[in-house]
A and B are shown apart, each in its own frame.
Chain A
Amino acid sequence: MNSVFLLLPVCLPIAVGLGIFFLKRHSAGLISGLAMGATLAASVLTWLLIFLCRQESFVLLHLTDALSFCFRFDSLGRFYAGIVATLWPLTVLYAFSYMAHEGHKRVFYSFFTVAYGVTLGICTAGNLITLYCFYEMLTLSTVPLVMHNLTRQAVRAARTYLAFSLGGAAFAFASVIFLVTNGAVGEFSFGGLLAGHPYERSALTWVFFLLGFFGFGVKAAVFPLHIWLPKASVAPTPVTALLHAVAVVNSGIFAVMRLVWYCYGPTLLRGSWAQNIALGFAIITMVYGAVYAVKEGHWKRRLAYSTVSNLSYMLFGILLLTPQGLEGSLLHMAFHSCMKILAFFCAGAVFHQTGREYNASLGGLGRAMPVTFTCFTISAVALTGIPPFNGFVSKWYLLTAAAECGTPMAYAGAGALLLSALLTAVYMMPNAVSGWFGRAEPGSLDTIREADWRMGLPHVVLSLGTLITGLFAQPVVQAAAAIAAGG
């Protein structure tokens, strides 16, 4: 297939989403039907393109002679698009049930669908400018989702999110400008664009690299720029699950991958102090996120801190600047998405059915909602990194990469990773244990029912996915290895 077709999955959800927003007369059924239709169509298209699209670029328009707005579907983009395209329809299905009794459905489904198109735009962006545009659009399209409840807390969270993201993007833009003025304006190419330019190994390069890293790192929740993420968990669960565990935060990771591996280039950065600083922050974040997750008493915020920690596993992998590191990072991106969205879904289902949202209030709920808690236990075990679930595989590859790399920073990271994995057990398992074995007030469980199938199905599918991608991880590992080898 020609790469013009890339515009389809990007534009279709955006168009439908905007359409929903401007609908004059509407019913709940029409809105959710449109959203689901557009999402499914875009997902099918994306999967077709993943297998069929030729790897060539399609220039939509030239901004100036040097700058263009262009699309290209390379292997990294395909990998990320595959994750997004699989998880998005499941989340929409989940949202049908979760949002059934919430207000503002039109706004919700409208922006939720737009965000899908924008995320696919990030996947298919062919150069840094295009990526940057979609990146900003993602921020703007997801702000209304964060403040969906319109409570004071939600509005404040949205404001923080907006401030951090836009501020980060501004820093990132500085880095983009630096790259552009130094001639690195072309399409992404594996290994970097900066080889052989005058400032090649100067302090200026490192400074601008760090600006870019922290700029894009806002979405990847690198310490100390992670503050918006736990706050944003006031959003409805489909939003926190999909956007704040997968699409938005992984877009941050994806952008850093593009920046490090496709713009500045690993050979250039390797051994520089900029690498060490970035690595240092990633390592701090791993432990910091996990420690705060342990301290946190609110279930969804705890998961959000866990995301903070896990995202830094990926950053760590990227910044090792070895192909094995990138491979481990990609694996963790795929597997973490699956595990964490599952954990959020479970927390959301419990909140939806019982209104309970604090860790201490879960006693005995597993007996009333066995499916939900089975799935949550699976995600807890997988996140902790226990075989045969997929979390073990990605941690294994990350650790192997760190050992292979052999620098002191890599060893420190490996230690931090293991420590944070232990803390993962400390913050995930008690919720599962108290759900199954904790004491419930007599009679308090009588009225509690399992969520309906629209919530249950995503749970079960994702749990099976967590298990199967662990048991038979080879295809995913191969895909990640191919990307890391420059394919």
Chain B
Amino acid sequence: MNQWLLPISVLLPMAVGAALPLLGKKSHRTLHLVVLAALLLQAVFVTWLLLLPQIELPLFAMTDTLTVSLRMDGFSKLFMAVAAYGFLAAGIFAFRYMEHSQRQESFFTFFLLSLGAMVGMALSSNLITMYLFFECLTLLSMPLVLHDRTKESIRAALKYLFYSVAGAFLALCAIFFLARYCTTLDFQAGGSLDPALAAGHETLLRVVIFLGVVGFGAKAGLYPLHGWLPTAHPVAPAPASAVLSGIITKAGVLAILRLIYFCVGPEFLIGTWVQQALLGLSLLTVFMGSMMAYREKQFKKRLAYSSVSQISYVLTGLFFMTAQSVQGGLLHVVFHACIKICLFLVAGSLIFNTGKHSVEEYHGMGKAMPKTMIGFTMASLALVGIPPFNGFVSKWYLALGALRAELPVFSWLGPVVLLISALLTAGYLLPITIHGFFPGPKESVPEKNNEGGPLMWVTISVLALLTLCSGLFARPLAQAFGAMAEALF
């Protein structure tokens, strides 16, 4: 019986989302209540699922080889929970943020549809199903970007679409080769590559696996397919950027995780050029993202570059292929989602209340919006990785894992790049706090406002407190993820 919960948890937000336009031009209050009910119900559902053991449900077969089926394992739970709770927080924030928008029902429709696709991705039990939901997620989250319907936003949305589809086709290339050389397309911890079949085709396989990882990396903002992130985020409404950056990019991480650890198997890649090339790309992305963020003045674009950099922390963890590094990566998935959603909501709140987009205009903001700016400061400290905030914990495991990997060059280069990037992170986030609370004597201080009402500042504060609490009490999560990571090797 429990197995039917899986499709329900995918279809529930999708069905509600698809039904929203049917509400017609009812009051926004009704709309918000329906969306809130759906998000809460989904969160409850997911919480319930977290307590259940692994369940599986084959849905149907398109052909003999192409089957669609769902399964929930530990990794599904992780990504599913991040999605459900993250969307809940951003959704609540959006009720206020989108208040003046003409097209609220369109926003919330695609918001809920994206949530459904993301949960579907987490619950996929084979590559085909995951590919299906990956493409769905692209198509359904694209309208979030072009919400404003300006020329610029439509162009940004198409850019996002093309990058993602290009990535997906690169990945498809890997998938159909793996379909030949793996015993099955179902996910199996440790991979299902058939050594007898693969013998003699190792180079080919490694090339296509590399392409596949780079392809899925498009969603995760991995260089060289990261270009859509800094274009799409600034034009999207803040709650949409929050989930795009905090959660939907994690779909790329999940896809890469499934590809490397559940289809190919890490031992096929450890020590090969593929691992080194991927590490090179991800470390380059970490550094480059931070650098670009440091130089960027527009706040949301800065955060977008920051995401590019931070998600590559996770990918670096996956590419080092040790239990600790994967553990650190998984922790960073959760922590970064929490931090980045908080930061984007802060950006949303600042724009909503003051209409200012550039960090140079935020001087003295701490006086005008103290609660929001305190939340921002906490999230910034967490992202930099200062204990006892949660970012410290994940980065600790990442660095530890890198050192344990015992690779030439990368084992020390990895932690060094992570440190430099952390410095840059401090460089692009903390000055906003400093100028916000301590503006120069000659600068005019913006007027105090109500910080967008409780719906905004409470959401931000809760997320900010979470970054602290999940750092202080990271032990259970770290242990659980450690066990999951161990099982992969």
Chain A residues within 8 Å of B, Cβ to Cβ? 381, 384-388, 393, 396, 399-400, 403-404, 414-415, 418, 421-422, 425-426, 429-430, 433-434, 436-439, 470-474, 477
Contacts and interface: CB of A to CB of B under 8 A. Distances in A.
B176 A403 contact: yes
Given A396-B176, A421-B169, A437-B149, A426 B162 contact: yes
B179 interface: yes
Contact of B165 (A415, A422, A438, A474): A422
Nearest to B181: A403
Contact of B154 (A399, A434, A477): A434
Leading 6 A-B pairs by shortest Cβ distance: A387-B132, A425-B165, A386-B135, A477-B63, A399-B176, A418-B169
Given A418-B173, A422-B169, A429-B161, A437 B66 contact: no
A389 to B, nearest CB: 10
Contacts of A473: 62-63, 66
Contacts of A385: 169, 172
Interface string B164-178: 011001101100110
Nearest to A426: B162
A471 B60 contact: yes
A211 B251 CA distance: 50
Contacts of B154: 433-434, 437-438
Nearest to B139: A381
A393 B158 contact: no
Contact of A418 (B62, B136, B162, B172): B172
Given A422-B165, A433-B158, A437-B146, A393 B63 contact: yes
A400 B162 contact: no
Interface string B372-414: 0000000000000000000000000000000000000000000
The listed residue with most A CB atoms (<10 A of its CB), out of B61, B135, B179, is B135
B182 interface: no
Contacts of A438: 149, 154
A403 B180 contact: yes
Interface string B242-276: 00000000000000000000000000000000000
Interface in B60-90: 60-64, 66, 68
Nearest to B146: A437
How many of chain B's residues touch chain A, expressed as a range? 20 to 34
A387 B62 contact: yes
Contacts of A415: 173
Given A421-B169, A434-B154, A438-B149, 20 more contacts: A386-B135, A387-B131, A387-B132, A388-B132, A393-B66, A396-B176, A399-B176, A403-B180, A418-B170, A418-B172, A422-B165, A422-B166, A429-B158, A433-B146, A437-B143, A471-B60, A472-B62, A473-B63, A474-B64, A477-B64
Contact of B158 (A414, A430, A436, A474): A430
Nearest to B167: A422
14 contacts: A385-B172, A386-B132, A387-B66, A387-B135, A388-B132, A396-B66, A429-B158, A429-B165, A433-B142, A433-B158, A433-B161, A437-B157, A438-B149, A477-B64
Given A404-B180, A429-B161, A474 B63 contact: yes
Contact of B149 (A429, A430, A439): A439
B128 interface: yes
B179 to A, nearest CB: 7
Contacts, number: 82
Contacts of B176: 396, 399-400, 403
Q: Which of A381, A400, A437 has the most B CB atoms < 10 Å from its CB?
A: A437
Contacts of A381: 139
B1 to A, nearest CB: 25
Contacts of B61: 474
Contacts of A414: 173
A381 B161 CA distance: 12
Contacts of B128: 387
B147 to A, nearest CB: 9
A227 to B, nearest CB: 28
Contacts of A429: 158, 161-162, 165
B179 A400 contact: yes
Contacts of B157: 433, 437
A112 B66 CA distance: 39
Contacts of B158: 429-430, 433
B230 to A, nearest CB: 20
A30 B142 CA distance: 49
A11 B328 CA distance: 73
Given A387-B128, A425-B162, A438-B154, A403 B63 contact: no
Centre residue among A388, A399, A471 by max chain B CB count within 10 A: A388
Q: Which of A404, A421, A434 has the most chain B CB atoms inside 10 A of its CB? A: A421
Nearest to A390: B62
Interface in B113-151: 128, 131-132, 135-136, 139, 142-143, 146, 149
Contacts of A470: 62
Contacts of B131: 387
A473 B166 CA distance: 25
Contacts of B161: 425, 429, 433
Contacts of B66: 387, 393, 396, 473
A271 B176 CA distance: 24
A429 B169 CA distance: 15
B209 to A, nearest CB: 14
A469 to B, nearest CB: 10
A438 B153 CA distance: 10
B275 to A, nearest CB: 24
B476 to A, nearest CB: 37
A388 to B, nearest CB: 6
Contacts of A393: 62-63, 66
A418 B177 CA distance: 13
A124 B431 CA distance: 78
Contacts of B135: 386-387
A103 B165 CA distance: 44
Given A381-B139, A393-B63, A473-B62, A399 B172 contact: yes
B425 to A, nearest CB: 34
B68 A388 contact: yes
A429 B154 CA distance: 12
A415 B170 CA distance: 9
A307 to B, nearest CB: 20
A403 to B, nearest CB: 6
A386 B172 CA distance: 10
Contacts of B177: 403
